[in-house]
Amino acid sequence: MLLDIKELSDHMFWADSKVWSEVMKISQHNKIQHIFDLLFHLHTVQHAYLCIWNNQPLNNLGKNEFKNLSELSDWGKDFHRKYKVFIDSLDDERMNNVVSIPWTEYLEKKIGKPPEASSLIQTIYQVVMHSTYHRGQINTKIRELGGEPPLTDFIYWIWLNKPNADFTID
């Protein structure tokens, strides 16, 4: 199970870097704001779960705290570095630990009942799948703005012999 998580995480790093590479190619387009918003949301959720897993307070950064795409990209890279340290520290025993989600009251109102407990492994899967979902939205916007969205499928990554992300993850 832990090996699967590490592999999915490595793919997420690589796929995020591929999308960022294409976004930077079209960064001067005057309609880039929607992509900026999606990337901000993607990395906000990534950072939020990392804070939850590490029992740290959530960092409530706003979009206006990033002057440009480069600063937002650096924040995304910061998540990847910290997430890699976190994933590398895990063992199978911790995977079933229940994770306390701070926005439970919001979820209860939305779904009409208290949410069921979720484990560490389930929330890790959530981060990976949530990131995939929003990369798809970003790729659609890249195409709409005249760019070429990268192929980021997991199986494509496997076929490429699991390359590392294009940016450095210490």
The alpha-carbon radius of gyration of the chain (Å, integer) is 16
Asked if residue 36 has pLDDT above 70, the reply is: yes
- Residue 19, domain member (yes or no): yes
Measured in residues, the chain has a length of 170
CATH number of domain containing 115: 1.20.120.450
State how far the Cα of 19 lies from the Cα of 101, in Å rounded to an integer.
28
- Residue 169, domain member (yes or no): no
- Residue 111, domain member (yes or no): yes
Helix (H) or strand (E) holding 119: strand 118-119
Per DSSP (E only), the strands in 53-168 are: 98-99, 118-119
- Residue 89, domain member (yes or no): yes
- Residue 166, domain member (yes or no): no
State how far the Cα of 47 lies from the Cα of 61, in Å rounded to an integer.
10
State how far the Cα of 165 lies from the Cα of 150, in Å rounded to an integer.
13
Q: Judging by beta carbons within 10 Å of its beta carbon (0-12, 13-18, 19+), is residue 34 exposed, middle or buried? A: middle
135: tokens are 């990369």
| Domain limits for position 141 | 2-159
- Residue 165, domain member (yes or no): no
State how far the Cα of 12 lies from the Cα of 157, in Å rounded to an integer.
10
pLDDT band at 170 (very low <50, low <70, confident <90, very high): very low
- Residue 85, domain member (yes or no): yes
Residue tagged 């590479």 (tokens): 21
pLDDT (0 to 100) of residue 59? 81
- Residue 55, domain member (yes or no): yes
Calculate ∠ Cα 44-151-8, nearest 5°.
Answer: 55
Number of structural domains found in the chain: 1
Predicted TM-score (pTM) of this structure:
0.92
The model's pLDDT over 87-127, given as tens digits with 9 standing for 90+, comes to: 999 988 899 999 999 999 999 999 999 999 999 999 999 99
